[in-house]
Chain A
Amino acid sequence: KQEVTQIPAALSVPEGENLVLNCSFTDSAIYNLQWFRQDPGKGLTSLLLIQSSQREQTSGRLNASLDKSSGRSTLYIAASQPGDSATYLCAVGLYSSASKIIFGSGTRLSIRP
């Protein structure tokens, strides 16, 4: 059974710092991996999607990497801003069950001005 873990559960850093959020998964047979952002009481915003054949994806100040063999992904945020404060969710798409996504527990990020 696929399990997705995110560490740390919460993180607070001063504005301007670069930071890394971690995601690990137990079964490397994934279709893709996606990072989402969720603001309090809101839905999900897709940030980056990495297909299983890819190693990384970049969008602006965000960079996500994927190492399937070790079951790990990282989300790198450069030059953090208070507006980046949110919960970041990692989710893996399963090959074994078309379209099924398993979410991690999330990292609550707070950027201090």
Chain B
Amino acid sequence: GAVVSQHPSRVICKSGTSVKIECRSLDFQATTMFWYRQFPKKSLMLMATSNEGSKATYEQGVEKDKFLINHASLTLSTLTVTSAHPEDSSFYICSASPTGQGYEQYFGPGTRLTVT
């Protein structure tokens, strides 16, 4: 149980285009999901907290207009990188917190984004 999937696992896009990454909780509902970014050989940095049915909460320094987050259902959150640039290339990982089960988080396998 408690499986989180991400799609796609890898994506290459051209500068200036937008790319959407999906995060799904497969066997549980998640009112809250989280999006992290990881640079090579670095740790995970929390980008934003995604809440079902409401606006996401972004961490300081994260551009909300560039990284659009939508949490339209209890099992799906999406991160859209708008007008991508090479510096947006990174490993993006989501996590989901089961509704009503405290503060546990279950992590997705990550999405490798390369912007050329």
Contacts and interface: CB of A to CB of B under 8 A. Distances in A.
Contacts of B34: 99-101
> Which bucket holds chain A's interface residue count?
20 to 34
Contact of B107 (A32, A41, A46, A93): A46
Interface residues of B, number: 24
Interface string B4-25: 0010000000000000000000
A57 to B, nearest CB: 14
A28 interface: no
A104 B44 CA distance: 8
B43 A100 contact: no
B6, B104, B108 interface centre (most CB from chain A within 10 Å): B104
Contacts of A81: none
A105 interface: yes
Interface of A: 31-32, 36, 41-44, 46, 49, 89, 91, 93, 98-106, 108
22 contacts: A31-B103, A32-B103, A41-B91, A42-B109, A43-B93, A44-B44, A44-B107, A46-B106, A89-B43, A93-B103, A98-B32, A98-B103, A99-B32, A99-B49, A100-B34, A101-B34, A101-B105, A103-B36, A103-B44, A104-B43, A105-B43, A108-B41
Given A41-B91, A103-B45, A108-B41, 9 more contacts: A43-B93, A43-B110, A89-B43, A89-B44, A93-B103, A99-B97, A101-B95, A104-B43, A105-B43
